Amino acid sequence: MILTVTLNPSVDRALEVDVLIRGEVLRAGDSHIDPGGKGVNVSRALLANGVRSTAVVPAGGAEGEQLVDLLKGEGVDMVAVPITGRTRSNITLAEPDGTVTKINEAGPVLSMAEFAQVSDAVLSAARGCDWVVICGSLPPGPSVPAFAELCERLVAAGARLAVDSSGPALLAGVRAGAALVKPNREELAEAAGAELTTLGDVLDACARLRAAGAGTVLASLGADGAVLVEESGVLTGTSPVSVPRSTVGAGDALLAGFLAAGACGEAALIEGLAWGAAAVSLPGSRMPRPEDLDRTTIRIDHHPDPSRLLGRD
């Protein structure tokens, strides 16, 4: 069982347009409304591929009711924690060449009392789970120390913690001893405090996160694939997509596939890349099913021992 936690979930509306032109009246082609948020997407991807998962989400207002209804409609097992604020709505505009413009609301303010209720729900649901996966940005309200305390309590309770976030929240997960962190290129650069222009830069930044407390680092690099830095070695992989439709949720699908395949080594990286590439080929934030997966085009390369990465010329 994998427990996902999305502290700032959303209702996502995706519209396909021929070309995005500012100031013009545009007519949309296909449109989709999906439950959104990074942890929600991980649960949806796992469910689509027969892997048990439960999603913890704070939900409030009419949009919160819609989010719960959408998750129920997809058959996602969930723990919905009522809040007073309104769950956010996000809009995605996708063009035929794969260009995606995303407009995200900030989300509702969570009071410290509400965050405590969410934390209690997470700790209760985490009992007996194989992984607890906290994904996405912090909503307005909770402090980074409160988030760090949640991570520390989960690790202290024996949970295998995965964190997919950014900025101080990502670093809080690292310092708490998360077994896995999954930054994208921009989040990794922010955590490293340096521009990442080469593969060596990426590998060194991943090694620094491991040295700071993270067990394994899975870095998603968009069209350049992904990097896996773990105790047993360093792997890079690519998964080309012939007709990209939407990148929304691709990193979440990558994480879901990696976890579903054991979260360790080449086989797990291949599975993650296959799920991520399949998500890019689907509209909106649709999550891939087994029939969407193609592992034949994935390329994996092995690299030096991670302990030798830092301080290279």
Write out the DSSP string of 47-76: HHTT--EEEEEEE-HHHHHHHHHHHHHHT-
Of 34, 164, 252, 292, the catalytic one is 252
Q: How many CA atoms lie within 13 A of 95 on its CB side?
A: 10
Residue 313 designated active-site: no
Pairing of β 10-16 and β 31-36 = antiparallel
Name the residues annotated as catalytic.
252
